[in-house]
Structure 1
Amino acid sequence: MAASCSRAGGAAAASVPQGWPRTARAPPQQHREGLGSGCKLLACRRHRRRVGPSGVAANCSRRQWVADVCSAVSIRPRFEGLMAPYVQKLITDMAEEEVSMLLGVSSEITKLEDNMEGSRIKELNQRLDEIRRGAAEFNFLANIRSSRNRRTIADAEHSSSLKSMSEFDETAIVGEKIERDTKELAQVLLSDENHHDLKVVSIVGMGGMGKTTLAQKIFNEPTDQKHFKVKVWLSITQQFDEAELLRTAIEHAGGVLGGAQDKTLPTRNLTDAMSVGRFLLVLDDMWSDKAWSDVFCVPARKASQKQLGSRILITTRLEHLAPMMGEYFHQHHVRPLDIEDAWSLLKKQLPPDQVVGIDRLKNIETEILKKCEGLPLAIKVIGGLLSTRYPSERDWNVVLTCPTWSVAGLPEQLDSRIYLSYEDLSPQLKQCFMYCSLFPKGEEILEDVVVPMWISEGFIQPPDESSSHEHGLEEMATEYYRELIRRNLIEPAVKYSLTGYRCTMHDVVRTFAEYMARKESVVVVDDRQAATCGCRDGSKLVRHLSVGQTISAVEWVILQKQKSLRTLIIRSSIKFQPGDTLRSFSSLQVLFIHAPASAADFKSLRFLQLESLPCCTQLPDGLCFLPCLQVLVVKDAPAIKRIGPEFQAPSCLSAGHTAAALAPAFPKLRDLQLVGLCEWEEWEWNDDGCEQQQGSAKATIAMPCLERLEIQNCKLSYLPLGLASVNRQALRRLHLYDLTNLTSVENFPSVVKLDVFRSPKLKRISGLSSLHMIRIVSCPNLEVLEGVPSLDSLALQDQTMEALPGYLRAVNPRYLRLHCSKKLYKSLSSPGSSEWNKIRHIEKHDISYNEN
């Protein structure tokens, strides 16, 4: 999800044009008020004492104490997201000051009396007394962040934060060794030795050693680009779906996808696709030879007989894997980085303003790097942590001497360096980080998916109990997402390295996150887990459940046992029985499924994504009656050609015309995304009927809170009148991508940001009186841009453009960013040219072109 523009907080931020890739800021400052006026804090004096490391076990006990507090107020679920971060912050701050904070919620209970029964209040008091007594039992471990050095959004904005990234992760590429390894292995792939045999090249090393980075660099080598006509990169999960793996391989190889139920036809199609030319097949992170023997062995061998010199490149932790594949093989062991390369890699993780003069800290950093043991992942994570510190001997020494480097009780397979970085996160950011573990390996973490999930879960809270509309919870959540990227806890996917829109989580980091979230989160990835939903212990309170693409369908009756679920993510088939319903999940806040269900039963639902609907010809009618739904995503529904008025039908059309008739359709929907409805041609939406009946257009307009709308890849020629209603005050951002038949965008007076990409028939944009920023990409027939008096930033991109459009004379933005053809660029380089005269009235320009 593209972050909306916000006011600049420092010189670095102010120099970046709005709406284009920019450095991210640290997460917003966490306010100590936290619980607001509804709860009060009782303070008592306490002797200050040094507290030593108590290990993971003690931390788990502390987290359990926090969970008890959250559970005590779970009668009102919204308080959990509010209290948990605050209570955790109290824990980390107690050892720093001579104050011990105890929770008192008498005023909150008073406020809730109207909504609770007397017996429940008595029970709540008893539980809070137990929690209050439990608080005194803990010796709290001070966080390694000192109160003086803890960075907030205000001071973070004075330095660059997000490093710039190229086609793949350049921040992991350092030193001559990786260059030598790349050239050596590229030569092995290209060599004519055993030319007639299919050769396997295996990169072996422990987790976090940089195997994938080396493979990526080889994959992108110019010599390989010329030598191999067909190149396929696949990440292999431990529990993979054969059909999905085949489909992905065919797609990457440029082949034809078949519709057969068995794998005979897809296997043949993959063979044909790889037989077009000499191929390079990369199988990243293999844990066994099963993917090779069951899926790729036959098509690869057959295709290699037609295309001599084809190669297989694998990355693995297992030395014996390559010999098991039964082909001629070459094995390369990745070694730890030496101290100079490690130092270079660490410096790449720091903002540019911190790198200047950093060599004065090399002695301290040498000691820090020794603790990283030459592992690139560990160095990147610690580098991300150090990037939040002022580069001084004192601040870096705090990190060096932190006892968390060797925490007791951490399982052997987990990396204590990641625990060090985790402990440095704010309580809210810890929740967001652990939540990312619900996306299993092979699933990308999309910004516009996970950000609204965090918000719906209550992880993101506005300061001073302000409304989300006033203070922008989405912007705050987006800053958290960027902070996780900056700390290298999630990493941008290859194609989205510049924007970070799609991210992945390294296996080593994911394993750690799953462990830290194990008390309340379960990820089901195989049939054995599916039989119990990963919950062998019946006493386990599961709040977040993610069901991956298991081979067998999951029994719905097993899911229904998890009555405390707040997040349910389903990517697998579900076995329903007569009488099965969705009413068991009364606390559900986030639902992510691949097919539509009886969503109207989810009265508390805030986030809903419907994805991969090849046979769906219309959207469910009842979605508009969900009272709490805030985010709706419909993705990949190619059979839908029309969306009728029943989709956004106002409640006044329901039978009875009672008091419920006053409620609008989608009353709290903030974000609507309609993506991949490639045959969608008509959207019928007119609010006139109900407005006339009720006499109050504002009260009955559908989607009155809609702030963001994204439409991508469809055949709409116009946007409906109901969407462009003059009474629509909340809509701020409108994103239109690949609308090939769209002819105009008109009359959206509240929109401040507009994206129009790849709409070749677009001719007119007008009537956007509040528009602040617009980006126009590959819209060659646009003739009119008018009615935009507030326009501040205009970005125009068309590499085929040889003359500037005439509408540039009629607008007066402060900033123009232009990406055009080389011919036009040269013309604009002459200040007196006719093309330059079209934009000379604009204050600031940024003009570029591509050589190719």
Structure 2
Amino acid sequence: MADAIVSIALQRMAAIIEKQIREEIILVRGVKKEVSYLTSELKAIRNVLDDAERRGYKEKSIQHWLKKLEDTSHDIDDVLDEWNFAILKLQIEGSNNSVVPRQTVCSFIPFSCFGFKEVATRHDIAKKIKGLKERLDRIVTEKDQYDFIVGQPVRESDRVRSTSSLDVSEIHGREADKQSLVRKLVIEDVGQEELNPRVISIVGTGGIGKTTLAQLVYNDDTVIDNFKLRIWICVSDVFDEVRIAKGIVEIVKGSSPNLNELEPLLKCVTDLISGEKFLLVMDDVWTEDYKKWETLKNCLKFGAQGSKILVTTRSERVARMMGSSEIYHLGQLSDVDCWLLMRHVAFFGRSEEDCEELQDICKNIANKCKGLPLAAKVLGSLLRFKDTVEEWRNVLDSEIWELEEAEVELFPHLLLSYNELSPTMKRCFSYCAIFPKDTKIDIEKLIRMWMAQGYLSSNGSEGDLELKGKKYFNNLRMRSFFVEYNGETCKMHDIVHDFAQFLRKTKSYDVQVPDSSLEARKKGLSEANDPSLVSQVKVYRSLFSQKGLLPPSNLFDSTKWFRVLSLCECGFEEIPTYIENLIHLRYLDLTGNSLMIQVPQTICKLYNLETLYLRRCELKEIPAEIGNLIHLRHLDLYSNNQLKELPETICDLHDLLNLRYCILLPEGIHRLKNLRHLPNDYTESLHHIPQGLEQLTRPDIEAIPCGKDRSKLGYLKKLDQLNGSLELQIRLHDEEDALSKPRMPS
């Protein structure tokens, strides 16, 4: 986690220095040495963060050191963002007050052009940077006390190795899964000789029971009778071809080979399995490196037809890499099976009277596990040593992420998956804890929030951030961090959500929350979903309002650090003009404030804004200065029925990628042709709207033969009724869908 935050700060420094050099902007003098120092020290710290975070998981003093590092890195990012905003403001407002075109104004801004405010801003930023240097000095000094190892990887001993044995009496609820997999394994692969041996993968999140299911299948009588050789190998991490080959030889031959080189070991494997029908279980595979797998796979082809390889992994990417012909996504246990599993552990050795008294509480605790067997076992073990009803109720009333037993026994299993992520993906994952449990997360919005937080930028290059965000999301989804994915929305399993909350607790993301604000410290962290907490907190980066809850009047002046602000359906009649104070804001969602008929002009001073949702309001106009939002990429004005025109300055939004806009007059859309990121064939279609089309009824429209005329087709399908509204859904990377499969107005 700290690595991700440090990386963001380093990227910000590199970007802003590059910008100053490229555009010859002189805004802050005398801090070059301090910025250079911050860069070099953060790079040195980042080299030891693998070891620091591994040890910090258990050592409280290192946790405290990481907290200070993260807070300082956040503050560095904030100050550099403030610096960047000052440059941006000078460019935009300077060009607005000048006859010189905007694109040429930025080439050189001499010191004499600065007014009093610019000089004060420059001095303030320089002072903050020097203060951050002093804080980082102390952190670096403390670092040397811990003797961190540079580039320390996750230790192999941290992984628990599985075996093929199990106690069937302790298993609940996997009979149907077992029978399904047994059928897949014993079925004859007629006409599929080229797939021999066929690979079948069990995929699911940590603790869902993949290894247990593989053990059940491995020990099933039908499987035993069907395969002459059965081999169980716990692969774990790292994928060691020599160790795996040795294990296969040892199991088949019954003795350990006196070989250490891969080549003779593979030859030995080939000789032992040649012509034999085998089942090889490869449990807990992590590697995505095909070259490692290919070496072993080639010698397994000599088994008899019908041989199978059963893989368990947390990642669908791994399953695909291994050429799985079938991927079996393992689901959750039912509430009943989860309860039976917990009861087996929790009630061990108790009297029938005690069991009857505690049964209802135990069932409710089991429901908190949301079908995750490992959680049921861990909480069952915890309850086994609780003697009173009050102690059991305390467990029921606690969040799982607050329980010490979960920290020791449950979360380490999830931590293994987390540690496999890149720093950026760790940050993207932990951010999802801001959403309440069981929330259907809009993937498109989530990616835009990641973008607003700066997680998707790389070395100052914007690139296609949305595609990068989609890639990160898919990586997380394929590693089982998300469930119930349907292409547009997803959910997090409750235990995975608890783990994300736990990470944010131990990694101290409640930055600058006063000790007196315990509720904010518990709920808020660095993001909050309760606006009433904002007045108690100095620094928040995200805020999500609750539906129908009008935020406090001091919302926009109590903190200026928001990157993400979602105030949907909270009863706003008007936005305070001093919203312009939120200079860091990138994402603003005001959807569903149906009493709001206008937005203040000062919203157009949020020069960093990238995403703006104004859906389902009653706006009559958009401020003419909207063209100043030069970084705006996504603008949603859908279902503003009184809004019939866009200002001409909409053409200045050259970075705009996505626009949703309802308009009653078709001729009002022509000025969109100047938006450079709209697909050419789409903008062309806007120029050839048939005259009088808006007067046609729905049957008339359906009767018109469209053929291959995509301009007519793309427009006609958007007109739903007489005097109906036109919805433009413009997508940079999905032009075909935007034209041929438009969404109808609701």
Higher helix fraction (1 or 2): 2
Higher strand fraction (1 or 2): 1
TM-score normalised by structure 1 residue count: 0.42
